[in-house]
Amino acid sequence: MPTGGAVEQVREKAELIDGEGLRRAVTRIAHEIIERNGGGENLVLVGIKRRGYPIAQRIAERIREFEGIGLPVGALDITLYRDDLQTISHQPVVSGTDIPCDIDGKTVVLIDDVLYTGRTVRAALDELIDLGRPKSIQLAVIVDRGHREIPIRADFIGKNVPTSKREVIMVKVQEIDGQDGVSIGEMLG
Amino acid sequence: MIGHRKDLLGLEDLSAEEITSILDTARTFREVLDRPIPKVPALRGLTAANLFFEASTRTRLSFELAEKRLSADTVNFQTSGSSVSKGETLRDTARNIEAMGIHLVVIRHQASGAPHYLARILNAGVINAGDGTHEHPTQGLLDIFTIREKLGRVDGLRVAILGDIMHSRVARSNIWGLTKLGASVTIAGPCTMMPAEVERFGVTVAKNVDEAIEGSDVVNILRIQLERQRAGLYPSLREYARVHGVTRERLRRAKPNVVVMHPGPMNRGVEIAQDVADGENSVILEQVTNGVAVRMAVLYLLAGQHAPAESATEATPTVETVKR
């Protein structure tokens, strides 16, 4: 598991999903969220920084298009809830959490780019529960790559990708990376 | 971590980038303080010792609160009722505390340089909470943070610092920090309370309080430090109030949206008039709230160096954290 001790060198091997494919995955997840919850009543979308947040905004945009409702979209920075802060030598940069509404009694859909060990989601759940008392929390991810270390599963998945631990999944979004898509790479050295 | 530092001893040796990174981090913690549960688990497992060899209410409370809001364990030490009154040296006190497994030491001491001495002999991170007449870096940082939150920038602002410059560690930390970030600082006060060669700090010395306030964006009013006063620096508190005290009348010379600051505790009616202290331009209570956020940022950034499990000191990631 990468510990944040150093930035790994990564060689990109193949593109798994192109920009169009990412758009379709986001659209499908948006429909599934509305279907599962019987509409958008009481829903709040919360993206885990950094890449979960632009994905959450896109899901909200899709829902606005086909359902005609604007859902609140929040951003969660889980840095202060990480379980490895004590084992890395450099404190990660914190960029702040911004949830635009009260989450008490709401159904929160937590959104991230990749689901891997589950530790990021664990941290996000802890932070959400400190922020309020949602009625329920669901999880949506673009890629589930396996290798869970704690018992967490996603409710909405764009694509299941079997990986080895030496591989890296890179979800790219226009807002941060200048392009859309998902590719698989390999750690060097 | 602030740069590659283990300690925060003063703003004089920080770069503008380091100061800015602390202020940016403090912003996140300011938001944490507004949450229903204003506490995050970031420093779980770490222990901080607050060593106060000199009286303090707000700084000690502020540090303790900051530590608790980050889930660190805290122990407090005050001179009265401690072994210091039995003749123990600073070195022995500190070494004993370190032997108890403390990771971060917050120290206030009447001797300038005491935190620097501790930083040299201890592996723990040392944070200067005020040393003699030298520096009070977290106060400087919280003042600058408050200015930046209020006015949106620091660069290009005119800041007046008024009062007892000579005895004021708050003034020194403010001057270092503000000038590094591009503000122009003007100071004024009784000439008996101006340090020699004060121009070397890169500040303008005004003839009097009125001249310093003229056109300023920020007025930071220092406390008359009755406990540090040697006899004869000024005739009486009444005269001080009349000649150097900041009144509503005097404040008219500043910009209309001037930010009025005071590090506390205030001597109302002496260096600051009642209606200025409680006036609409006063941010004195915001300074106190911001102080907790700024101290959380400093503790958080220094804590990376002091993990309980002796961890690697390898080269470290720059910006983004690796998510798992």
Positions of chain A with pLDDT under 70: 1-8, 86-90, 189
Is the distance from CB of B107 to CB of B126 less than 8 angstroms?
yes
pLDDT at B314 over 60: no
- Of chain A, the end-to-end C-alpha distance in Å amounts to 15
| B307: pLDDT strictly greater than 70 | no
Contact B54, B82 (CB under 8 A): no
Residue pair B209/B272 in contact (Cβ under 8 Å)? The answer is no
| ipTM beyond cut 0.85 | no
User: Which of A79, A94, A143, A169 has the most B C-beta neighbours within 10 Å, making it the best mutation to test the interface with B?
Assistant: A94
Dist CA B144 CA B292 (whole Å): 14
d(CA B186, CA B181): 15
Q: Per-residue pLDDT for B322 more than 50?
A: no
A39: left (phi over 0), alpha (psi -120 to 50) or beta: left
pLDDT confidence band for B315 (50 / 70 / 90): very low
Query: How many angstroms separate the CA atoms of B184 and B187, rounded?
Result: 10
Q: Provide mean pLDDT across the span B80-87.
A: 66
The answer to whether the CB atoms of B317 and A7 lie below 8 A apart is: yes
Q: What is the average pLDDT across B190-197?
A: 88
**Of the candidate ranges A63-67, B38-42, B87-91, B284-288, the one whose mean pLDDT is the lowest:** B87-91
Express each pLDDT in B31-73 by its tens digit: 999 999 999 999 999 999 999 998 888 999 999 999 999 999 9
Residue B114: burial class (beta carbons within 10 Å; 0-12, 13-18, 19+): buried
Residues of A in contact with B312 (CB under 8 A): 5, 89
List B5, B6, B27, B58, catalytic entry? B58
Strands B73-78 and B47-52: parallel
Q: Is B86 a catalytic residue?
A: yes
Contact list in A for residue B43 (CB cut-off 8 A) is 85
- Mean pLDDT, chain B, integer: 89
Give the pLDDT band (50/70/90) at residue B156: very high
What pLDDT score does B305 carry? 64
Residue B85 CA to its chain's centroid (Å) = 27
* Across B177-202, average pLDDT: 93
